[in-house]
Amino acid sequence: MSLEQDLPIGIFDSGVGGLTVARAVLDQLPHEAVHYVGDTAHAPYGPKPIAEVRRLALDVLDRIVESGVKMLVIACNSASAAMLRDARERYDVPVVEVIQPAVRRAVRATRNGRVGVIGTRATISSRAYEDAFAAAPHLALTATACPAFVEFVERGITSGPELLTAARGYLEPAIAADVDTLVLGCTHYPLLMAVLRSVVGDDVTLVSSAEETAFDVYRELATRELLRPDDRPQPRHRFTSTGDSVAFRRLAQRFLGPQLGPQLVDVEETGPLYLGALR
């Protein structure tokens, strides 16, 4: 076994939403170690200018790569939209993101050719999803920014009348466009699945990028012969935040589930990992 095979998979998000991707990776690749970093000191990324998102994200990714990982997963739509090309040119390890996997799933899922995308302001204004769907010009796309959703999730609010009212307002364009498939263009949004389902109805397919991204992680590792052998000891995972660890720990336990016990998971507050961050 090469030393590289035993290195962890680095997963990055602006906060806690990327834990949905981490959970899918752990489910599908149970022999792999994960090093997750959430830049909670600067979350949410969505309202920030693209240039600022790019700078913050690359600073954190630099440190993750320096710590020693065999792959990077950018589990943040805003960050993917801002600097995916930069990351792939900057690092020697393979880089997987969340936009293309979700788009592929939506193209397969739609029946009437009308697809909706909801995301942060940064993701929607970047037109990253329009670019990704360009390979399927027969589809009609309705993209809507939902800036408050991330704030609800980061505060641990995933139900209630205030959230339901916000969801009804945000989803009105997609419903009016008669979409039959809705892409959750932010990794926080799967935590709002029940509310979203209640608003759009059972006939609309909700597409989360987490599972599809985990498939891409497996394919990349297998192709590059970087999968960790099954006979290795049980992996230990690290979940770290650049900000307050108390809320992060609580939400991490909720996202990851009780089956990942403390004997296998370190939840830490690293402090800011970036260089020259905008303040």
Annotated active-site positions, please? 76, 186
Rounded-to-5 percentages of helix, strand, coil across the chain = 45, 15, 35
Query: Token digits for 272?
Result: 């800011």
For residues 200 and 168, the answer to whether their CB atoms sit within 8 Å is no
The tally of CA atoms less than 13 A away on the side-chain side of residue 178 is: 4
Q: What is the number of other CB atoms lying within 10 angstroms of the CB of residue 220?
A: 19
Distance CA 42, CA 241 (A): 10
- For 26, 126, 137, 175, the CA distances from 144, given in Å and listed in that order, are 30, 12, 19, 11
